[in-house]
Amino acid sequence: MTDDLPPQQPGRVRKAPESFLDRSGIQAVHREARSGRRDFIRSAFAAAAAGGAAVAAPAALAQANPVPADGGDPNILKLPEHSTGLGQPVVTDGYGMPSKYERNVQRRQSPGLTQTNQASVSFAPLQSLFGIVTPSGLHFERHHQGWWDIDPSKHRLMLNGSDDKMLRRPMVFTVDELMRLPSVSRFHFIECGANTGMEWGNVAVPTCQYTHGMISCSEFTGVPLKVLLDMAGADYKRGRFVLAEGADGSSMTRTIPMEQVENGEVFVAYGQNGEMLRPENGYPLRLVVPGVQGVSWVKYLRRIEVGDQPYGAKDEVLHYVDLMPGGLHRQYTSIQEVKSVVTTPSGGQVLLDRGYHQISGLAWSGRGKVRRVDVSVDGGRNWRQARLQGPVMDKCLTRFALDWVWDGKPALVQSRATDDTGHVQPTYRQLRAVRGSRSIYHNNAIQTWLVQENGEVKNVQLS
């Protein structure tokens, strides 16, 4: 192993929208790495690794909640106001809000990532979430031309064909009508194709909110698109592609394969986590395309066209294309492949004490169910199989956990998911060997968190 970094490619990482650090920032990263900070971290880590598997607890661990000198915790001995007074009445809020102590749990923008706020992204705070469902108010946002709160009584869904014979008849539905039809409710993840895109070339952001926060998971409710296309008499033999189009300013379009419609997976959703979709997520209608990147889950869905060719939309030709090392752009890359991330502990957090910690995180695959997740605390040399917390569902987030006793030494924490097609999440080295490092999209590499001796956790990439 040498200290030589990969040859610098000025411009490989652009300020926006392709990455966060500018050229001088990138150079600073590498300059500081060269000047020895990396050596310091590596030597500390090597010492830890030499000590064997990091499970041996030191002789005396600090008690996390020690007994005070006077023999009792004042939080126990002195009854608080809420135990001795009268609480709040019902319906202080017709729509309840989280505790005031939870105000730090917010979706956030990554500074410098985009230059406009209407074509931008906010990231879900994965580091603060439990289980697999994303609270609707914390669902990540990606707007292409600003969001709208559309009057559902005036919204329409149209079905038509690329020619007159593609459907027996073009149709129009009101939202009322769609909500009368037989419905399905299913849990699925939605991940932006550019999630973790800032990290293709190098570390660019500090926390898992920014590295992986363009993913969310909800229970969606709606009508299978197949039901609607059957009503309109679609020609499934000729019509092998479906165009989905939004009603907002950009009238977003994406091509969907008819196979995914025919097998019943794709549905027109109006519900999200028991209530209607949030305006930021497409109220009153959005398409759900399980396993496929979020850009295909067209919001404010107004039109479905059945056709015999793909559509070459802006987000199929100019964006959401993967630049390969030979200079070719891959178009219509849609599936979000097997991926996982440890959310606790994760970048920007501080472990307060040595001793027991539960390592926990999220795994998913756009090809099916998560079969297993392995976790390493030594940078990938040794792995242990994590527990999968049920339910484990198709094209849905899966929560995993592993017991860990932290001995206070540096650790490199990673997770690696395998899906039920047998596809294994790659390391950065494996991913870049095939796809280079200049793509923006579909980065599913293994994430590494460095736990420093002082407990602070940092985002790092290994070579």
Partner 1 sequence: MSSCREALIALVLAGSTLGAFAQAAKPAAPAEFPGIGRTATPKEVQAWDIDVRPDFKGLPKGAGTVARGQDVWESKCASCHGIFGESNEVFSPIVGGTTAKDIETGRVARLTDESFPGRTTLMKLSSLSTLWDYINRAMPWTNPKTLTPDEVYAVTAFILNLGGIVPDDFTLSDANIAQVQQRLPNRNGKTTDHGLWPGRTLGNGGKPDVLAAACMSNCATEAKVASLLPDHARNAHGNLAEQQRLVGAQLGADTTRPSGATRRMSTLAAVTAPGAGPAAAAAKAVALARQHNCLACHGLDNKVVGPGMSEIARRYAGRDDAVDYLAKKIVAGGSGVWGPIPMPEQSLPAADVNALAAWLAGGAKRP
Query: What residues from 184 to 243 belong to the interface with partner 1 (CB under 8 A)?
Result: 202-207, 209-210, 226-228, 230-233, 240-241, 243
Residues in 361-400 at the binding interface with partner 1, rule: CB under 8 A: 366-367, 372, 374, 378-383
The letter for the amino acid at 353 is: D
Q: Does 438 bind partner 1 (CB under 8 A)?
A: yes
Q: Which is nearer to partner 1, 117 or 185 (CB)?
A: 117
Name the one range near partner 1 by CB under 8 A: 54-62, 85-93, 269-277, 425-433. 425-433
CB of 230 to partner 1, least distance (A): 4
DSSP calls for 26-60: HHHHHHHIIIIIHHHHHHHHHHHHHT-STTPPPSS
Which CB atom, from 283 or from 311, has the smaller least distance to partner 1? 311
Site for partner 1 in 242-271 (CB under 8 A): 243, 245, 249-251, 253, 257-260
Rounded alpha-carbon distances, angstroms, from residue 367 to 228, 229, 292, 322, 339: 25, 24, 9, 19, 11
Query: Smallest distance, Å, CB 384 to partner 1?
Result: 8
The reply to whether 332 sits near partner 1 by the rule CB under 8 A is yes
User: Which 114-153 residues touch partner 1, going by CB under 8 A?
Assistant: 115-119, 125, 127-128, 144-145
CA torsion 321-323-327-331 (nearest 10°) is -20
Residues 6+ apart with CB under 8 A from 330: 321, 322, 324
Q: Which of residues 22-51 bind partner 1 (CB under 8 A)?
A: 23, 25, 28-33, 37-38, 41-42, 45, 49
Q: How many chain residues bind partner 1 (CB under 8 A)?
A: 162
- Residues 46-85 touching partner 1, rule: CB under 8 A, are 49
Minimum distance, C-beta of residue 133 to partner 1, in the bound complex (Å): 17
Closest CB to partner 1 among residues 178, 277 = 178
Residue with the two structure tokens 């150079």: 27
Residue 14's φ and ψ, nearest 5 degrees, are -95, 160
Minimum gap (Å) between residue 259 Cβ and partner 1: 4
- Tell me if 428 contacts partner 1 by CB under 8 A: yes
**Pattern 150-189, binding to partner 1, x per CB under 8 A?**
--------xxx-x------xxxxx---x--xxx-------
Q: Which residues contact 201 (CB under 8 A, 6 or more apart)?
A: 9, 12, 13, 19, 26, 437, 438
Are the C-beta atoms of residues 165 and 240 closer than 8 Å to each other?
no
Residue number, 27 or 185, with CB nearest to partner 1 = 27
Q: Rounded to an integer, what distance in angstroms lies between the CA atom of residue 308 and that of residue 231? A: 19
Binding residues among 284-303 for partner 1 as defined by CB under 8 A = 291-292, 302-303
**CA gap 228, 232 in Å, rounded:** 6
Nearest to 338, CA basis, from 246, 205, 427, 462: 427
- How far is it, in rounded angstroms, from Cα 197 to Cα 212? 9
According to DSSP, the residues that pair with 399 across neighbouring strands are 362, 389
* The binder of partner 1 chosen from 166, 192, 301, 321 (CB under 8 A): 321
**Given the complex with partner 1, which of 392 and 462 has the nearer CB atom?**
462
Work out the angle at residue 306's Cα, subtended by the Cα atoms of residues 303 and 307, and round it to the nearest 5 degrees: 130
Q: Is 5 a residue that touches partner 1 (CB under 8 A)?
A: yes
Nearer to partner 1 by Cβ, of 221 and 443: the residue is 443
Query: Residue 318 corresponds to which tokens in the numbers above?
Result: 């100019």
**105 counts as binding partner 1 under rule CB under 8 A:** yes
Q: Backbone phi, then psi, for 160, in 5-degree steps? A: -145, 180
Q: Of 460, 391, 447, 416, which is closest to residue 126 (Cα–Cα)? A: 447
**Is residue 101 at the binding interface for partner 1, with CB under 8 A as the rule?**
yes
Q: Give yes or no for residue 313 binding partner 1 (CB under 8 A).
A: yes
Note whether 57 and 355 are within 8 A (CB). yes
Q: Which is nearer to partner 1, 141 or 245 (CB)?
A: 245
Q: Is the bond preceding 257 in cis, omega lying within 30 degrees of 0?
A: no
Choices 75-83, 89-97, 183-191, 422-430 (CB under 8 A): range interacting with partner 1 = 422-430
Q: What is the closest distance, in whole angstroms, from the C-beta atom of residue 116 to partner 1 in the complex?
A: 6
Q: Which is nearer to partner 1, 278 or 458 (CB)?
A: 458
Residue span binding partner 1 (CB under 8 A) among the ranges 4-12, 82-90, 135-143, 278-286: 4-12
The yes or no reply on residue 314 touching partner 1 (CB under 8 A) is yes
